[in-house]
Amino acid sequence: MNRSNARKVPDDAPTSFLRKRWQPYVLTETGADRQFYELAVLTEVKNGLRAGDVWVPGSRQFKDFEEYLLGRERFAELRDAQALPVAIEVDSERYLQRRLALLKEKLHQVDQLAGHGELPNAEIAGELLKVSPLKKSVPEEAEQLEDEAFSLMPHLKITELLLEVDQWTDFTRHFTNLRSGDLAKDRSMLLTVILADAINLGLAKMAEACPGTTFHKLDNLRANHGRARVKI
C-alpha cells in the first residue's frame, strides 16, 4: 500500500486475527480503517512475539521455540541408541497409561482414607473439601534471632553487591556489544538490565525503581548487549 500510495485497505486483507475490542474501530461501513488496521496488526504481532506464538528467524530474543528443543533426528538417534540423558518413557501411550494407573491408585487411596476420616490435615464433608490451616513451624525464638541477624548485616543495593561479585568473576565481560564487540560503558546499568531479566521485573518497573535511569536507556543497553544464553 505504501509503494502504490494506496489509501484504502484491500477487501481481501486478513481480519480473522482481530479481537473484538479492535473490530468496532477497524471494520467500518466503508471498509477497514487503515490507521486502526495497522495499529491492530502491530499490537497483535507484539502480543504474539511475547507469547511465543510468533517468532523471527535469526533473532536471539524472539526465536522459534523448536530451536530450544533437541532436534528430531538427534532425539531419534539417542533414543535408538538408548542414550537419552534423562530417564523418561519415550512411548507416549505407555507413559499416559502408567500415569493414569498411578492416578487411579492414588484416588483410591484418598477415597479409602476419606471414608475412614483419616485424611491428614483435611476432611471431606459431602462435596466440600476442608483443609486444616497450616501450623506455624518456625518458633518465635528463631524469628527473633533472624531479625537480630539481619540487623547486623549492612544495607546495600543489590546492584552494588553484583558489582562486587563482578570484580571477583568479571562475568560482565561476556556481555559485549552484539555489533562492535565492545564492553558496556556503564557496568552498573548493565547489571540493572541483567537483574531486571533475572527477577522478571521488566525494564519499565526497573526504571521506576532506579532513580537516574530511564526505560529507554535500559532498553537500548539490553538491545545492544543482551544475551539469550551466556557461557561463563
Q: Write out pLDDT tens, residues 1-38.
A: 888 888 889 888 999 999 888 899 999 988 899 999 99
Q: Where are the domains of the chain?
A: 1-60, 70-126, 158-225
Residues 122, 129: contact at Cβ < 8 Å?
yes
Burial class (CB in 10 A: 0-12, 13-18, 19+), 163: middle
Q: What are the strands, taking DSSP E only, across the chain?
A: 27-28, 31-32, 122-125, 128-131
pLDDT surpassing 80 at residue 56: yes
Q: Write out pLDDT tens, residues 137-163.
A: 788 888 889 888 988 888 777 878 888
Place of cell 479409602: 112
Cα 81 to Cα 77: distance, rounded to the nearest angstrom:
6
Return the pLDDT at 230. Answer: 43
Helix 215-225, helix 187-198: angle, nearest 10: 90
Give residue 39's pLDDT band: very low, low, confident or very high (50, 70, 90). Answer: very high
Check: pTM over 0.75? Answer yes or no.
no
Cell numbers found for residue 10: 484491500
